């Protein structure tokens, strides 16, 4: 009934079906009578758990009970909520690692208040207690579960020729392993930097939206942006110029819009009068295009992501591969900034609803139709039509 | 950690020593008592010992350790008393209401004021103790670990939206409780 908890006992949560059943039960004041038949078993089980399992045949379900009680505690007790501005300030403080000085000026005072408040949690200094370490080690010693240690390589080897060959092989393998390890470190560093950039841009977008009636930055109307891919430093007509306005208006530092995975991203400061990047290759991140006048993002909708490979291919006269990931991560995947400020990593250029983030819905449908005509399997699960189309571009 | 997995027993002592003060401060805040914190601390390293060979050494140890500690503290509280904060006899829907908190109206000592006095520490303890465990846990992880919402969600295995709403509620409640205890108003002590 519950989702599997991790072995270390991480916090329990309900499955979507149980959540739905719980919502129904709470809406009906914990009375399971009249439960729709499709959720009746779950509702019955929840009701029995809520009555604290006085019946012997109900297995104890700590996770389920905790989740239910947690929900009930919220709805039956007095709760305190923050103003929207304070919520934004908390989000910004979290995104900047509780460094209020990095929060956009519009939220900085409130973010400072947040960090001062939580700094109360520091508590008094605690001196190091050697006896505590000894007690912990003694407790571990007394357990009957020894750690599975790796045997030293050399201890396993005797002086036989075969072992010498093994040692040589190990050395050769080690040499071939070092480079991938270094490469992994570099990849992770780049991924972290891009994630941080999107988070900072998210704070800037949030601050901008707070100042402009929940609207995302748009310097031109969709009609004026017919050539939305045409990046020009003196003419704000590309979609990138919309995002660039965050830099112009000082909501976001320009460094946050330069990906370390984009070899063409400018390294020095941009001209003071620039209204866009010098050319499309300098654009590191792809931004939500204003389709049909839409200018708001849903909380789970993607607003910004690592740069699109599609437009780069098209402008280079190449045939794009619709399964290709962003070049910011050498095609491994891309980060996506969602409307709620969270940044997620995906190894496919699609949202959780199957929506291709770098293609408009019309193109996606045309691709699917063509595949169907050619007898090819569907490229992806059908996109949920009621969700607004996400289409990101430079 | 890599050394410990390789069989270097002294490495565990070094790990415990390195994280002892930070982890104990976190656990004392989370559990509200030094004894409970020590129990959770011990359980944390026992878990580390048992899971050491499965630990992905490319991950940072600190967040992993704090998450285990938070789980152990929660287990300890669960054993001690099973969610005593909730009155099940209270009819659902009879909420006592929601109160908006404006942080700019809360009087908070600034960091430049230096270390808090013993009396202030006692007040902070009281304010923290009024937070429910889920709120306290998210607040402390966000503060002590500087984790992002996504990281907290990942570590605790709860949805990101839940982390966000809990942290908002935790900051609002903590601000309100702090204001109440600092002004000597105890009328809200029962609200958690």
Per-residue pLDDT in tens (0 to 9) along chain A, 394 residues: 433 333 333 334 566 677 677 777 766 656 677 777 777 777 777 666 665 433 434 444 555 555 555 555 555 456 788 888 888 889 888 888 888 888 888 888 889 889 888 888 887 777 788 888 888 888 887 775 555 444 444 344 344 555 555 555 555 555 555 555 556 666 777 788 888 889 888 888 888 888 777 788 887 665 566 677 888 877 777 888 889 988 888 888 888 899 988 989 988 888 878 888 988 889 999 998 876 445 455 556 888 999 999 888 887 878 778 888 999 988 889 999 988 888 888 998 988 777 888 888 777 777 777 777 777 766 655 444 445 678 888 8
**Burial class of residue A205 (count of CB atoms within 10 Å of its CB; 0-12, 13-18, 19+):** buried
- Whole-number average pLDDT of chain B: 78
CA A295 to the chain's CA centroid: 21
Residue B44 within a domain: yes
* Shared domain check, B116 and B71: no
Residue A116 at interface with chain B, using a CB cutoff of 8 Å: yes
Question: Domain span at residue B119?
Answer: 110-186
- C-alpha A233/C-alpha A270 separation (Å) is 10
- Calculate mean pLDDT across residues B12-28: 89
By DSSP bridging, strand A79-82 and strand A285-288 are: unpaired
List chain A residues with CB under 8 Å of B111: 116, 119
* Shared domain check, B71 and B4: yes
The residue ranges of DSSP E strands in chain B, in sequence order, are 98-101
List chain A residues with CB under 8 Å of B91: 29
The reported pLDDT for the residue numbered A156 is: 42
- Calculate mean pLDDT across residues B105-113: 69
Residue A87 at interface with chain B, using a CB cutoff of 8 Å: yes
The reported pLDDT for the residue numbered A213 is: 77
Considering only CB atoms, A82 lies closest to which of B101, B118, B156, namely B101
Residue of A nearest to B50 (CA): A147
Considering only CB atoms, B42 lies closest to which of A139, A148, A150, namely A139
Rounded to the nearest angstrom, the minimum Cα separation between A60 and chain B is 13
- The three-state secondary structure class of B116 is coil
Inter-chain residue contact A118 with B142, CB threshold 8 Å = yes
The reported pLDDT for the residue numbered A15 is: 67
How many other C-beta atoms are found inside a 10 Å radius of the C-beta of residue B42?
19
Residue B21 within a domain: yes
How many other C-beta atoms are found inside a 10 Å radius of the C-beta of residue B4?
21
Residue in the structure block whose two tokens are 């995906």? A346
Best of B103, B129, B153, B168 to substitute, by most chain A Cβ atoms within 10 angstroms, is B103
* Shared domain check, B135 and B72: no
In this structure, what CATH number is given to the domain that contains residue B28? 1.10.1740.10
Residue B101 within a domain: no
Residue A156 at interface with chain B, using a CB cutoff of 8 Å: no
C-alpha dihedral (A198, A203, A205, A210), degrees to nearest 10: 170
Query: Considering just the CA atoms, what is the radius of gyration of chain A in Å?
Result: 27
Q: What 8-state DSSP symbol labels residue A101?
A: G
Rounded to the nearest angstrom, the minimum Cα separation between B180 and chain A is 13
Inter-chain residue contact B169 with A132, CB threshold 8 Å = no
Residue B141 within a domain: yes
* Shared domain check, B114 and B75: no
Last residue of a domain, which of B81, B98, B121? B81
Residue A352 at interface with chain B, using a CB cutoff of 8 Å: no
Inter-chain residue contact B97 with A8, CB threshold 8 Å = no
* Shared domain check, B115 and B75: no
Residue B53 within a domain: yes
- C-alpha A202/C-alpha A220 separation (Å) is 21
Best of A2, A3, A9 to substitute, by most chain B Cβ atoms within 10 angstroms, is A9
- C-alpha A148/C-alpha A316 separation (Å) is 54
* Shared domain check, B129 and B182: yes
The reported pLDDT for the residue numbered A294 is: 53
Residue B92 within a domain: no
Last residue of a domain, which of B81, B99, B119? B81
The model's pLDDT over B60-91, given as tens digits with 9 standing for 90+, comes to 788 888 888 988 888 887 666 544 444 333 44
* Shared domain check, B76 and B7: yes
The residues, ordered by sequence, that sit 6+ positions from A343 with a Cβ below 8 Å of its Cβ are A195, A198, A199, A202, A335, A336, A337, B148, B150
Residue A192 at interface with chain B, using a CB cutoff of 8 Å: no
Rounded to the nearest angstrom, the minimum Cα separation between A84 and chain B is 10
Q: How many domains does chain B have?
A: 2
* Shared domain check, B119 and B175: yes
List chain A residues with CB under 8 Å of B159: 13
Rounded to the nearest angstrom, the minimum Cα separation between B59 and chain A is 11
Considering only CB atoms, A77 lies closest to which of B25, B142, B191, namely B191
Residue of B nearest to A120 (CA): B124
- Calculate mean pLDDT across residues B115-129: 80
To the nearest 5 percent, what fractions of chain A are helix, strand and coil? 45, 5, 45
Alpha helices in chain A (DSSP H): 16-27, 40-50, 62-76, 84-95, 105-119, 130-141, 153-156, 161-211, 239-248, 309-315, 361-373
Residue B91 within a domain: no
Inter-chain residue contact A83 with B100, CB threshold 8 Å = yes
Inter-chain residue contact A80 with B53, CB threshold 8 Å = no
* Shared domain check, B54 and B4: yes
Rounded to the nearest angstrom, the minimum Cα separation between A220 and chain B is 33
Rounded to the nearest angstrom, the minimum Cα separation between B154 and chain A is 10
Considering only CB atoms, B29 lies closest to which of A75, A121, A152, namely A121
Q: Strands of A334-338's sheet, edge to edge?
A: A343-346, A334-338, A302-306, A285-288, A392-393
Considering only CB atoms, A133 lies closest to which of B5, B17, B78, namely B17
Residue of A nearest to B44 (CA): A136
The residues, ordered by sequence, that sit 6+ positions from A268 with a Cβ below 8 Å of its Cβ are none
In this structure, what CATH number is given to the domain that contains residue B171? 1.10.10.10
* Shared domain check, B117 and B68: no
Rounded to the nearest angstrom, the minimum Cα separation between A209 and chain B is 19
The reported pLDDT for the residue numbered A292 is: 46
- The three-state secondary structure class of A299 is coil
Inter-chain residue contact B111 with A116, CB threshold 8 Å = yes
* Shared domain check, B12 and B75: yes
List chain A residues with CB under 8 Å of B83: 66, 69, 73
The reported pLDDT for the residue numbered A8 is: 37
**Residue A84 φ then ψ, to 5°:** -55, -40
Residue B89 within a domain: no
Inter-chain residue contact B94 with A70, CB threshold 8 Å = no
């Amino acid at each position: 009934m519950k989702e599997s908890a991790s072995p270390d006992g991480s916090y329990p949560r309900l499955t979507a079906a149980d959540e739905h059943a719980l919502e129904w039960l709470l809406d009906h004041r914990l009375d399971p009578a009249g439960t729709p038949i499709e959720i009746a078993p779950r509702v019955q089980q929840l009701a029995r758990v809520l009555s604290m399992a006085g019946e012997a045949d109900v297995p104890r379900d700590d996770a389920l009970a905790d989740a239910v009680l947690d929900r009930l505690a919220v709805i039956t007790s007095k709760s305190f909520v923050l103003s929207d501005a304070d919520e934004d300030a908390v989000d910004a403080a979290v995104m900047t690692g509780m460094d209020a000085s990095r929060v956009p000026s519009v939220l900085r005072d409130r973010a400072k208040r947040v960090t001062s408040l939580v700094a109360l949690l520091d508590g008094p200094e605690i001196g190091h207690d050697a006896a505590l370490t000894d007690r912990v080690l003694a407790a571990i010693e007394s357990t009957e579960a020894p750690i599975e240690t790796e045997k030293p390589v050399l201890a396993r080897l005797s002086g036989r020729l075969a072992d010498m060959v093994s040692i040589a092989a190990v050395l050769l393998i080690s040499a071939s392993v070092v480079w991938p390890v270094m490469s992994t470190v570099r990849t992770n560093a780049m991924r972290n930097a891009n994630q941080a950039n999107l988070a900072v841009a998210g704070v800037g977008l949030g601050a901008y939206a707070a100042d402009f009636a929940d609207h995302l930055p748009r310097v031109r109307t969709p009609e004026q942006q017919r050539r939305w891919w045409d990046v020009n430093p003196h003419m704000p007509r590309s979609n990138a110029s919309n995002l660039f306005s965050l830099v112009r208006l000082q909501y976001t530092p320009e460094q946050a819009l330069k990906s370390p995975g984009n070899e063409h991203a400018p390294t020095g400061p941009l001209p003071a009068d620039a209204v866009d990047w010098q050319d499309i290759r300098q654009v590191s991140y792809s931004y939500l295009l204003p389709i049909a006048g839409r200018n708001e993002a849903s909380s789970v909708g993607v607003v910004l992501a690592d740069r699109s490979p599609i437009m780069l291919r098209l402008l280079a006269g190449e045939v794009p591969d619709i399964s290709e990931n962003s070049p910011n991560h050498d095609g491994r995947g891309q980060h996506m900034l969602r409307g709620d400020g969270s940044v997620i990593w995906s190894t496919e250029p699609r949202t959780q609803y199957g929506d291709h983030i770098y293609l408009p819905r019309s193109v996606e449908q045309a691709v699917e139709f063509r595949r169907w005509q050619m007898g090819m399997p569907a490229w992806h699960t059908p996109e949920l039509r009621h969700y607004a189309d996400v289409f990101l571009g430079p | 950690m890599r050394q410990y997995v390789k069989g270097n027993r002294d490495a565990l002592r070094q790990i415990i020593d390195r994280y002892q003060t930070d982890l104990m401060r976190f656990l004392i805040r989370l559990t509200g008592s030094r004894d409970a914190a020590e129990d959770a601390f011990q359980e944390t390293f026992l878990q580390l010992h048992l899971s050491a060979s499965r630990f992905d050494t490319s991950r940072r140890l600190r967040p992993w350790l704090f998450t285990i500690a938070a789980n152990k503290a929660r287990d300890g509280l669960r054993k001690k008393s099973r969610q005593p904060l909730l009155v099940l006899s209270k009819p659902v829907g009879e909420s006592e209401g929601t109160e908006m908190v404006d942080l700019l109206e809360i009087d908070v000592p600034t960091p430049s004021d230096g270390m808090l006095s013993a009396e202030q520490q006692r007040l902070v303890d009281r304010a923290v103790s009024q937070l429910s465990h889920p709120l306290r846990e998210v607040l402390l992880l966000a503060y002590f670990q500087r984790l992002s919402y996504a990281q907290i969600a990942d570590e605790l295995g709860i949805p990101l939206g839940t982390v966000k709403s809990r942290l908002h509620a935790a900051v609002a409640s903590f601000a309100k409780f702090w204001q109440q205890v600092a002004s000597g108003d105890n009328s809200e002590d029962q609200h958690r």
